[in-house]
Amino acid sequence: MFLFRFDLLQGFNGQEMQFATAAYYLSFYPAEDALNNGLSLDSIKRILEIVECAMAAPLSIKLCVEFLVNLYQLDQFTDNQQRTLAYSLICLLNIKNKFNFKFAGELNFNVDSVKNLMDHSEHSSSSQSTYAYYFTELTPPVALPFQVPDWIRVSADHVAEVGFVFGGYQTVKDDELKEAYLEDPLTNASSAYLKFFNATREDLQPLSNTMMTMWTNFAKSGNPNQPLALPADVPEWPQFNTETNKFLDLNKDNISVITTPHKERLEKVQSVLFEARRLQVLADKAPVHSALNLSFTL
Protein backbone atom coordinates (compact mmCIF):
# COMPACT_ATOMS: atom_id res chain seq x y z
CA MET A 1 0.00 0.00 0.00
CA PHE A 2 0.99 3.61 -0.60
CA LEU A 3 0.96 4.35 3.15
CA PHE A 4 3.62 1.76 3.93
CA ARG A 5 6.24 3.56 1.84
CA PHE A 6 6.49 6.44 4.33
CA ASP A 7 7.00 7.13 8.02
CA LEU A 8 3.76 7.59 9.96
CA LEU A 9 2.89 9.89 12.87
CA GLN A 10 -0.81 9.63 13.72
CA GLY A 11 -3.06 9.97 16.73
CA PHE A 12 -6.27 11.32 18.18
CA ASN A 13 -7.54 13.55 20.96
CA GLY A 14 -9.11 12.91 24.34
CA GLN A 15 -12.62 14.02 23.40
CA GLU A 16 -12.90 14.12 19.63
CA MET A 17 -16.58 15.06 19.29
CA GLN A 18 -17.09 17.40 22.22
CA PHE A 19 -18.25 20.29 20.01
CA ALA A 20 -20.62 18.07 17.99
CA THR A 21 -22.37 16.83 21.11
CA ALA A 22 -22.91 20.39 22.27
CA ALA A 23 -23.82 21.93 18.94
CA TYR A 24 -26.06 19.33 17.37
CA TYR A 25 -27.63 17.22 20.07
CA LEU A 26 -27.88 19.06 23.37
CA SER A 27 -29.74 21.87 21.61
CA PHE A 28 -32.23 19.37 20.12
CA TYR A 29 -33.75 18.57 23.51
CA PRO A 30 -34.86 21.87 25.10
CA ALA A 31 -37.62 20.12 27.05
CA GLU A 32 -34.96 18.16 28.94
CA ASP A 33 -32.85 21.32 29.34
CA ALA A 34 -30.06 19.13 27.94
CA LEU A 35 -27.54 21.99 27.79
CA ASN A 36 -27.62 22.11 31.57
CA ASN A 37 -28.69 18.60 32.54
CA GLY A 38 -27.39 16.36 29.77
CA LEU A 39 -29.28 13.77 27.73
CA SER A 40 -31.48 11.01 29.10
CA LEU A 41 -30.86 7.38 28.19
CA ASP A 42 -33.97 7.31 25.99
CA SER A 43 -32.79 10.39 24.08
CA ILE A 44 -29.33 8.90 23.52
CA LYS A 45 -30.87 5.64 22.30
CA ARG A 46 -32.98 7.57 19.80
CA ILE A 47 -29.90 9.42 18.54
CA LEU A 48 -27.91 6.18 18.28
CA GLU A 49 -30.72 4.60 16.30
CA ILE A 50 -31.04 7.35 13.70
CA VAL A 51 -27.41 8.50 13.52
CA GLU A 52 -24.50 6.35 14.73
CA CYS A 53 -26.02 2.91 14.16
CA ALA A 54 -27.57 3.96 10.87
CA MET A 55 -23.99 4.52 9.75
CA ALA A 56 -22.17 1.71 11.56
CA ALA A 57 -24.65 -1.18 11.12
CA PRO A 58 -27.65 -0.10 9.02
CA LEU A 59 -29.05 -3.63 8.74
CA SER A 60 -28.88 -4.34 12.48
CA ILE A 61 -29.70 -1.02 14.09
CA LYS A 62 -31.38 -2.31 17.25
CA LEU A 63 -28.55 -4.74 17.97
CA CYS A 64 -26.06 -1.96 17.34
CA VAL A 65 -27.81 0.33 19.85
CA GLU A 66 -27.80 -2.45 22.44
CA PHE A 67 -24.11 -3.14 21.80
CA LEU A 68 -23.04 0.52 22.18
CA VAL A 69 -25.20 1.06 25.27
CA ASN A 70 -23.55 -1.95 26.91
CA LEU A 71 -20.00 -1.20 25.72
CA TYR A 72 -20.06 2.42 26.92
CA GLN A 73 -22.21 1.57 29.95
CA LEU A 74 -24.70 4.27 29.02
CA ASP A 75 -27.39 2.63 31.13
CA GLN A 76 -25.21 2.58 34.26
CA PHE A 77 -25.24 6.32 35.01
CA THR A 78 -27.68 8.03 37.34
CA ASP A 79 -26.43 11.47 36.27
CA ASN A 80 -27.33 12.55 32.71
CA GLN A 81 -24.28 14.79 32.43
CA GLN A 82 -21.98 11.81 33.01
CA ARG A 83 -24.08 9.72 30.63
CA THR A 84 -23.75 12.41 27.95
CA LEU A 85 -19.98 12.60 28.49
CA ALA A 86 -19.78 8.87 27.82
CA TYR A 87 -21.96 9.27 24.72
CA SER A 88 -19.75 12.13 23.46
CA LEU A 89 -16.97 9.58 22.91
CA ILE A 90 -18.97 7.96 20.10
CA CYS A 91 -21.01 10.93 18.90
CA LEU A 92 -21.37 11.19 15.11
CA LEU A 93 -21.66 14.51 13.31
CA ASN A 94 -23.32 14.13 9.91
CA ILE A 95 -23.49 17.39 7.93
CA LYS A 96 -25.48 16.91 4.75
CA ASN A 97 -24.15 19.57 2.43
CA LYS A 98 -22.09 19.53 -0.77
CA PHE A 99 -19.17 18.04 1.16
CA ASN A 100 -21.30 15.51 3.08
CA PHE A 101 -19.11 15.63 6.20
CA LYS A 102 -19.27 12.65 8.55
CA PHE A 103 -17.25 12.67 11.74
CA ALA A 104 -17.51 10.21 14.61
CA GLY A 105 -15.29 10.08 17.68
CA GLU A 106 -14.16 6.60 18.67
CA LEU A 107 -16.21 4.99 15.88
CA ASN A 108 -14.19 6.89 13.31
CA PHE A 109 -11.02 8.72 14.34
CA ASN A 110 -9.83 6.49 17.16
CA VAL A 111 -10.59 3.04 15.74
CA ASP A 112 -9.29 3.95 12.29
CA SER A 113 -6.15 5.59 13.69
CA VAL A 114 -5.23 2.52 15.74
CA LYS A 115 -5.88 0.26 12.76
CA ASN A 116 -3.65 2.44 10.55
CA LEU A 117 -0.91 2.41 13.18
CA MET A 118 -1.08 -1.36 13.59
CA ASP A 119 -1.11 -2.01 9.84
CA HIS A 120 1.78 0.39 9.27
CA SER A 121 3.95 -1.05 12.03
CA GLU A 122 3.33 -4.61 10.82
CA HIS A 123 3.56 -4.20 7.05
CA SER A 124 5.94 -1.33 6.33
CA SER A 125 9.65 -1.99 5.93
CA SER A 126 12.04 -1.79 8.87
CA SER A 127 13.28 1.57 7.61
CA GLN A 128 9.84 3.19 8.10
CA SER A 129 8.90 4.50 11.53
CA THR A 130 5.51 4.54 13.29
CA TYR A 131 4.60 7.00 16.07
CA ALA A 132 1.31 7.46 17.92
CA TYR A 133 0.06 10.41 19.99
CA TYR A 134 -2.87 11.08 22.32
CA PHE A 135 -3.51 14.81 22.80
CA THR A 136 -5.36 15.53 26.06
CA GLU A 137 -4.78 19.21 26.80
CA LEU A 138 -8.07 21.00 27.48
CA THR A 139 -7.65 24.25 25.56
CA PRO A 140 -9.30 27.54 26.53
CA PRO A 141 -12.87 27.96 25.26
CA VAL A 142 -13.37 30.25 22.28
CA ALA A 143 -16.37 32.18 21.04
CA LEU A 144 -18.41 29.87 18.82
CA PRO A 145 -21.82 30.32 17.17
CA PHE A 146 -23.29 27.76 19.58
CA GLN A 147 -23.12 27.14 23.29
CA VAL A 148 -20.65 24.61 24.69
CA PRO A 149 -21.40 24.04 28.39
CA ASP A 150 -18.40 23.82 30.69
CA TRP A 151 -19.44 20.46 32.10
CA ILE A 152 -18.96 18.69 28.77
CA ARG A 153 -15.42 20.03 28.28
CA VAL A 154 -13.17 17.44 29.95
CA SER A 155 -10.41 16.83 27.39
CA ALA A 156 -9.05 17.97 24.03
CA ASP A 157 -11.61 18.49 21.28
CA HIS A 158 -11.27 17.56 17.63
CA VAL A 159 -8.30 19.32 15.90
CA ALA A 160 -7.30 21.04 19.17
CA GLU A 161 -3.70 19.87 18.66
CA VAL A 162 -3.34 21.72 15.35
CA GLY A 163 -2.86 25.13 16.98
CA PHE A 164 -0.01 23.69 19.06
CA VAL A 165 1.70 21.99 16.14
CA PHE A 166 1.67 25.21 14.11
CA GLY A 167 2.51 27.60 16.95
CA GLY A 168 -0.90 29.23 17.11
CA TYR A 169 0.15 31.52 19.96
CA GLN A 170 2.50 33.27 17.55
CA THR A 171 -0.23 34.14 15.03
CA VAL A 172 -0.95 37.78 14.47
CA LYS A 173 -4.06 39.49 15.77
CA ASP A 174 -7.19 39.71 13.68
CA ASP A 175 -6.78 43.43 12.99
CA GLU A 176 -3.15 43.00 11.92
CA LEU A 177 -4.12 40.21 9.55
CA LYS A 178 -6.91 42.28 8.09
CA GLU A 179 -4.64 45.29 7.64
CA ALA A 180 -1.90 43.21 6.03
CA TYR A 181 -3.88 40.94 3.72
CA LEU A 182 -7.55 41.86 3.48
CA GLU A 183 -9.53 44.84 2.33
CA ASP A 184 -12.68 43.86 4.19
CA PRO A 185 -13.04 42.99 7.90
CA LEU A 186 -12.76 39.34 8.83
CA THR A 187 -16.05 37.47 8.88
CA ASN A 188 -17.24 36.06 12.19
CA ALA A 189 -16.50 32.56 10.90
CA SER A 190 -12.93 33.46 9.92
CA SER A 191 -12.34 35.20 13.23
CA ALA A 192 -13.64 32.18 15.18
CA TYR A 193 -11.45 29.89 13.07
CA LEU A 194 -8.31 31.89 13.90
CA LYS A 195 -9.12 31.99 17.60
CA PHE A 196 -9.76 28.23 17.65
CA PHE A 197 -6.16 27.59 16.58
CA ASN A 198 -4.62 30.24 18.80
CA ALA A 199 -3.33 28.83 22.10
CA THR A 200 -2.95 32.25 23.68
CA ARG A 201 -2.48 31.31 27.31
CA GLU A 202 1.13 31.78 28.38
CA ASP A 203 1.27 28.47 30.27
CA LEU A 204 0.43 26.58 27.05
CA GLN A 205 3.29 28.00 25.01
CA PRO A 206 5.97 25.52 26.24
CA LEU A 207 3.76 22.62 25.13
CA SER A 208 3.34 24.23 21.71
CA ASN A 209 7.12 24.74 21.42
CA THR A 210 7.75 21.09 22.30
CA MET A 211 5.18 19.83 19.81
CA MET A 212 6.55 22.05 17.05
CA THR A 213 9.99 20.55 17.69
CA MET A 214 8.59 17.02 17.64
CA TRP A 215 6.65 17.46 14.40
CA THR A 216 9.47 19.27 12.57
CA ASN A 217 11.96 16.65 13.79
CA PHE A 218 9.70 13.97 12.36
CA ALA A 219 9.44 15.83 9.05
CA LYS A 220 13.23 16.01 8.85
CA SER A 221 14.25 12.57 10.09
CA GLY A 222 11.19 10.36 10.58
CA ASN A 223 11.95 10.54 14.32
CA PRO A 224 10.26 13.15 16.58
CA ASN A 225 13.10 12.86 19.11
CA GLN A 226 15.85 14.18 16.80
CA PRO A 227 17.79 15.99 15.37
CA LEU A 228 16.78 18.84 17.72
CA ALA A 229 16.80 17.82 21.37
CA LEU A 230 13.53 17.85 23.28
CA PRO A 231 13.27 19.51 26.73
CA ALA A 232 14.98 17.55 29.48
CA ASP A 233 11.71 16.71 31.25
CA VAL A 234 10.13 15.22 28.12
CA PRO A 235 10.49 11.43 27.76
CA GLU A 236 11.75 9.85 24.57
CA TRP A 237 8.84 9.15 22.23
CA PRO A 238 8.94 5.38 21.53
CA GLN A 239 7.76 3.87 18.28
CA PHE A 240 4.36 2.20 18.15
CA ASN A 241 4.11 -1.50 17.45
CA THR A 242 1.49 -4.19 18.02
CA GLU A 243 3.39 -5.69 20.95
CA THR A 244 3.95 -2.60 23.10
CA ASN A 245 1.17 -0.30 21.77
CA LYS A 246 3.04 2.82 22.90
CA PHE A 247 1.44 6.26 22.57
CA LEU A 248 2.72 9.62 23.78
CA ASP A 249 0.19 11.49 25.92
CA LEU A 250 0.61 15.21 25.18
CA ASN A 251 -0.50 17.84 27.70
CA LYS A 252 1.12 20.74 29.51
CA ASP A 253 1.33 19.06 32.93
CA ASN A 254 2.83 15.66 32.19
CA ILE A 255 3.95 14.43 28.78
CA SER A 256 4.15 10.67 29.29
CA VAL A 257 4.37 7.33 27.51
CA ILE A 258 1.14 5.31 27.72
CA THR A 259 -0.40 2.32 25.95
CA THR A 260 -3.26 2.61 23.45
CA PRO A 261 -6.05 4.56 25.19
CA HIS A 262 -9.17 2.45 25.75
CA LYS A 263 -7.57 -0.35 23.75
CA GLU A 264 -10.02 -3.10 24.74
CA ARG A 265 -13.03 -0.96 23.89
CA LEU A 266 -11.65 0.07 20.51
CA GLU A 267 -10.87 -3.55 19.69
CA LYS A 268 -14.47 -4.53 20.45
CA VAL A 269 -15.79 -1.81 18.15
CA GLN A 270 -13.50 -3.07 15.40
CA SER A 271 -13.93 -6.81 15.91
CA VAL A 272 -17.66 -6.88 16.66
CA LEU A 273 -19.44 -3.85 15.22
CA PHE A 274 -17.32 -3.20 12.14
CA GLU A 275 -16.82 -6.89 11.40
CA ALA A 276 -20.61 -7.33 11.46
CA ARG A 277 -20.95 -4.47 9.01
CA ARG A 278 -18.32 -6.06 6.74
CA LEU A 279 -20.21 -9.34 6.73
CA GLN A 280 -23.45 -7.55 5.98
CA VAL A 281 -21.85 -5.85 2.98
CA LEU A 282 -20.60 -9.22 1.72
CA ALA A 283 -24.04 -10.74 2.17
CA ASP A 284 -25.62 -7.85 0.31
CA LYS A 285 -23.25 -8.44 -2.62
CA ALA A 286 -23.75 -12.22 -2.67
CA PRO A 287 -25.81 -13.78 -5.50
CA VAL A 288 -29.47 -14.35 -4.71
CA HIS A 289 -29.06 -18.13 -5.02
CA SER A 290 -26.20 -18.12 -2.53
CA ALA A 291 -26.70 -20.16 0.60
CA LEU A 292 -24.72 -17.59 2.63
CA ASN A 293 -26.37 -17.23 6.03
CA LEU A 294 -24.96 -14.52 8.30
CA SER A 295 -25.88 -13.58 11.83
CA PHE A 296 -24.98 -10.37 13.62
CA THR A 297 -24.25 -11.32 17.20
CA LEU A 298 -23.25 -8.55 19.54
Any idea which fold 2-285 has?
Rossmann fold (3.40.50)
**Distance (Å, whole) CA 120 – CA 3:** 7
CB–CB of 53/68 below 8 Å?
A: yes
CB–CB of 224/131 below 8 Å?
A: yes
Q: Where are the domains of the chain?
A: 2-285
Strands 92-95 and 101-104 turn out to be: antiparallel
pTM for the model:
0.85
Secondary-structure percent of the chain, ordered helix, strand, coil, rounded to 5: 50, 10, 40
Task: Render the burial of 21-31: b for 16+ CB within 10 Å, e for the rest.
Answer: bbbbbbeebee
Cis amide linkage into residue 238, ω under 30° from 0: no
**Distance (Å, whole) CA 38 – CA 81:** 4
Residue 80's nearest CA partner among 128, 138, 132, 151 is 151
pLDDT digit string (tens) for 75-132? 999 999 999 999 999 887 665 544 445 556 888 889 999 999 999 999 888 889 999 9
Give pLDDT, residue 202: 79
Q: Sort 231 into a burial class: Cβ within 10 Å, 0-12 / 13-18 / 19+.
A: exposed
For every one of its 298 residues, what pLDDT tens digit does the chain have, with 9 covering 90 and above?
556 679 999 999 999 887 777 767 887 788 788 889 999 999 999 999 988 888 888 888 999 999 999 999 999 999 999 999 999 998 876 655 444 455 568 888 899 999 999 999 998 888 899 999 999 999 877 666 667 888 988 999 888 898 899 887 776 555 566 556 655 666 666 666 666 666 667 789 999 999 999 999 999 999 999 999 999 999 999 999 999 999 999 999 999 999 999 999 999 998 988 887 777 777 766 564 443 444 444 4
